Amino acid sequence: MRSTGKTADAAVKAELERDFPQWRFLVTDRRRWWALRGPLPYDQINEVDAVDADTPEDLRARLARLAWTAVDAPP
């Protein structure tokens, strides 16, 4: 049973990596999902570099909101 969960997690991580290539993904032993990026260059030092969520769906939504905000941000 345990390997099925890891296999499913690997598939979800692969999808997230495809959709958000600038981020790295992990799942903790407490089933918390994380997206990490960095180190960020100096001109992006104040940007978000870690996002966490209870589910991969929530993590995807949070990353999508960040991407949308970055697109809308003034130059």
Q: Which residue has the higher pLDDT, 29 or 68?
A: 29
Contact 56, 16 (CB under 8 A): yes
Single-letter amino acid, residue 31? R
pLDDT digits (tens, 9 = 90+) for 17-37: 999 999 999 999 999 999 999
pLDDT band, very low/low/confident/very high, at 44 (cuts 50, 70, 90): confident
pTM, rounded to two decimals: 0.79
State the Cα–Cα distance between residues 5 and 12, nearest whole angstrom. 11
State the Cα–Cα distance between residues 18 and 24, nearest whole angstrom. 11
Helix (H, G, I), strand (E, B) or coil at 15: helix
- Residue 4, pLDDT > 60, answer no
